[in-house]
C-alpha cells in the first residue's frame, strides 16, 4: 500500500517484512510513506504489527526483508542511537537517580553538546511542556502526568526531525489523557516535527492524527485521514474497529451504478453503497453508524430508506440518548440521538420505523 511518490517521502517503508521465527510474518509486505511534518498514527489490536513497525523504524528490531528510509537514505544498518530519532514510551523510561534537568541533559551529552548550549536546550524543552520549574526534582517526586511531560521533553530536547511514540498516554487517567492528546498534537504541529504514534485507542487516533494507518494481521487495512476512515471504511474490519457501528447481514440482489440493493436476512430490502462487493448473490455485511439513523419522521429526509424495528432499550446518557433496537435479526442495533427538547423517549416493546440515507450505508465484505 504505497500512497505517494517516494520523492516526497521523509519516512518510507519499502516492501518491509518481519518474522521472529523465520516462518510467521508479523509484518507483511509493508509499503508506507510519510511526508515531513505529518502526524501519523499506527492503530490496531494487539498483535497486528503496529508496534513492530515502530520498533523497526527506531532500530530496536531489524527488518527481515525490505528497506526503511529516512529522508531518502536507508537506515537498515544504522544503530538506534545514530538515527537521531526521539522516543516516548508508556513507561516514561526516566532515570530515577537523576534530576529532571539531568534526564534531559543526558541525550545532549551523548551528542557531545557543550554545557551552556545544553542548559539552554534543557530550559527550552522544559518550557515547551510547561515544566520549567521542575528541573531540580527527581522523577519519583512527580505525578504520572508530569513524568510523561518530562519524557516528552527529553524526546524533543535534541530537536529531532522524527519522534516515535509508543502508547505514551496509556498509564494516564481519562481526563489527563485527553488534555495531553491535544498538547502533544499542538506541540508536534507547532514545531513541525514528523511524528509516528502507536496506539490501540481509536478515539486517540481520530483526535490526534493527520492520517491513521489501521493495522490487522500484519497489514495496513486502510490508510486515510480520520474523517475518511470513519465515514468511508474500506472493509468490515475497519468499519468494526473504528467507532461504533451497526451491522446487518444480507445478500446483494442488484447492482445499479454506484448503489446496490441488499436483501437482509429477514427479507427486508435496503439500498447501500457497494464496497468490496461486486457480484449479485454475494453475501454482505452492511455498515451504518448509530448517529446516521433517525426515528423521528420530521427529521427524516424524503430520500431516507425506512425499515421496521422493535425498541429493546432506551438509555439516557446526558448529552445523548442511546436506543437499542431489534432490526433484521440484530438485537444490538443502536441509534444515538442528541438530547434535544423535541426528543421522544421510546418505550421498550414499541414497534417503529427507522430510516437513513443510502449514502450513509455501506455494503462491505461479509468476512
Last residue of a domain, one of 233, 258, 288: 233
What pLDDT shows up at residue 6? 55
Q: Domain holding 73: CATH number? A: 3.40.50.300
Strands 39-43 vs 194-199: parallel, antiparallel or unpaired: parallel
> Do 295 and 194 belong to one domain?
no
Q: How does DSSP assign 93-140, residue by residue?
A: ---TTS-HHHHHHHHHHHTT--HHHHHHHHHHHHHHTT-GGGTTS-GG
pLDDT band at 305; cut points 50, 70, 90: confident
What pLDDT shows up at residue 1? 42
Q: How does DSSP assign 288-350, residue by residue?
A: E-GGG-B--GGGS-TTPEEEEEEEEEEEE-SSEEEEEEEETTEEEEEEEEE--TT---PPTT-
Last residue of a domain, one of 233, 252, 281: 233
> Do 74 and 147 belong to one domain?
yes
Cα 177 to the chain's mean position, in Å?
15
Q: How far apart are CA 27 and CA 337, in angstroms?
A: 40
Last residue of a domain, one of 173, 206, 233: 233
Residue 1 lies in a domain: no
> Do 123 and 208 belong to one domain?
yes
pLDDT band at 35; cut points 50, 70, 90: very high
> Do 144 and 213 belong to one domain?
yes
Task: Tell me the Ramachandran region of residue 21: left when phi exceeds 0, alpha when psi lies from -120 to 50, beta otherwise.
Answer: alpha
Residue 43 lies in a domain: yes
Summary mean pLDDT of the chain: 90
Residue 238 lies in a domain: no
Express each pLDDT in 225-258 by its tens digit.
Answer: 999 999 999 999 999 899 889 999 999 999 988 8
Express each pLDDT in 88-118 by its tens digit.
Answer: 887 767 889 999 999 999 988 888 889 899 9
> Do 155 and 45 belong to one domain?
yes
Q: Domain holding 284: CATH number? A: 2.40.50.100
Strands 194-199 vs 162-166: parallel, antiparallel or unpaired: parallel
> Do 206 and 276 belong to one domain?
no
Sign of CA dihedral 285, 290, 296, 299: negative
pLDDT band at 7; cut points 50, 70, 90: low
* Structural domain for 345, as ranges: 244-364
pTM: 0.87
> Do 250 and 204 belong to one domain?
no
Count of other CB atoms within 10 angstroms of residue 181 = 21
Element (H, E) at 198: strand 194-199
Residue 69 lies in a domain: yes
What pLDDT shows up at residue 2? 40
> Do 202 and 258 belong to one domain?
no
> Do 214 and 121 belong to one domain?
yes
C-alpha cell at 238: 475497519
Q: What percent of the chain is modeled with pLDDT above 90?
A: 62
Residue 239 lies in a domain: no
Count of other CB atoms within 10 angstroms of residue 246 = 21
- Counting the structural domains of the chain, the total is 2
> Do 291 and 223 belong to one domain?
no
Q: Taking 80 as the threshold, does the pLDDT of residue 301 lie above it? A: no
Q: Taking 70 as the threshold, does the pLDDT of residue 212 lie above it? A: yes
C-alpha cell at 267: 427479507
Express each pLDDT in 343-358 by its tens digit.
Answer: 788 899 999 999 998 8
Residue 300 lies in a domain: yes
Closest CA to 308 of 250, 353, 258, 349: 353
> Do 42 and 183 belong to one domain?
yes
H helix intervals, 26-99: 50-58
CA angle 332, 334, 335 (to 5 degrees): 165
Residue 293 lies in a domain: yes
> Do 119 and 211 belong to one domain?
yes
Q: Taking 70 as the threshold, does the pLDDT of residue 319 lie above it? A: yes
Q: Hey, is 292 helix, strand or coil?
A: helix
What pLDDT shows up at residue 5? 47
Amino acid at each position: 500500500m504505497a500512497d505517494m511518490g517516494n520523492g516526497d517521502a521523509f519516512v518510507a517503508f519499502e516492501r518491509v517484512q518481519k518474522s521472529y521465527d523465520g516462518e510467521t510474518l508479523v509484518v507483511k509486505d509493508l509499503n508506507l510513506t510519510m511526508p515531513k511534518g505529518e502526524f501519523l498514527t499506527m492503530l490496531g489490536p494487539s498483535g497486528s504489527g503496529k508496534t513492530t513497525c515502530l520498533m523497526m523504524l527506531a532500530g530496536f528490531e531489524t527488518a527481515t526483508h525490505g528497506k526503511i528510509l529516512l529522508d531518502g537514505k536507508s537506515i537498515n544498518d544504522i544503530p538506534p542511537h545514530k538515527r537521531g530519532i526521539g522516543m516516548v514510551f508508556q513507561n516514561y523510561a526516566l532515570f530515577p537517580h537523576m534530576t529532571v534537568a539531568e534526564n534531559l541533559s543526558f541525550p545532549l551529552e551523548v551528542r557531545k553538546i557543550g554545557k551552556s548550549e545544553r542548559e539552554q536546550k534543557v530550559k527550552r524543552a522544559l518550557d515547551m511542556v510547561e515544566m520549567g520549574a521542575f528541573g531540580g526534582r527527581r522523577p519519583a517526586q512527580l505525578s504520572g502526568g508530569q513524568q510523561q511531560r518530562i519524557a516528552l521533553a527529553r524526546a524533543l530536547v535534541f530537536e529531532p526531525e522524527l519522534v516515535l511514540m509508543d502508547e505514551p498516554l496509556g498509564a494516564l487517567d481519562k481526563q489527563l489523557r485527553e488534555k495531553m492528546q491535544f498538547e502533544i498534537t499542538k506541540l508536534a504541529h507547532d514545531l513541525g516535527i514528523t511524528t509516528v504514534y502507536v496506539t490501540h485507542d481509536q478515539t486517540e487516533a481520530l483526535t490526534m492524527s493527520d492520517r491513521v494507518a489501521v493495522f490487522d494481521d500484519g497489514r495496513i487495512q486502510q490508510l486515510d485521514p480520520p474523517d475518511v476512515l470513519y465515514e468511508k471504511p474500506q472493509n468490515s474490519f475497519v468499519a468494526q474497529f473504528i467507532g461504533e457501528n451497526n451491522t446487518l447481514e444480507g445478500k446483494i440482489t442488484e447492482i445499479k451504478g454506484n448503489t446496490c440493493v441488499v436483501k437482509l436476512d429477514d427479507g427486508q430490502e435496503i439500498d447501500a453503497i457497494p464496497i468490496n462487493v461486486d457480484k449479485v448473490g454475494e453475501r454482505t455485511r452492511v455498515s451504518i453508524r448509530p448517529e446516521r439513523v433517525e426515528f423521528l419522521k420530521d427529521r427524516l429526509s424524503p430520500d431516507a430508506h425506512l425499515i421496521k424495528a422493535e425498541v429493546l432499550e432506551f438509555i439516557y446518557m446526558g448529552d445523548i440518548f442511546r436506543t437499542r433496537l431489534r432490526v433484521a435479526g440484530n438485537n444490538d442495533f443502536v441509534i444515538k440521538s442528541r438530547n434535544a427538547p423535541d426528543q421522544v423517549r421510546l418505550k421498550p416493546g414499541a414497534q417503529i420505523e427507522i430510516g437513513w440515507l443510502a449514502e450513509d450505508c455501506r455494503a462491505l465484505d461479509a468476512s
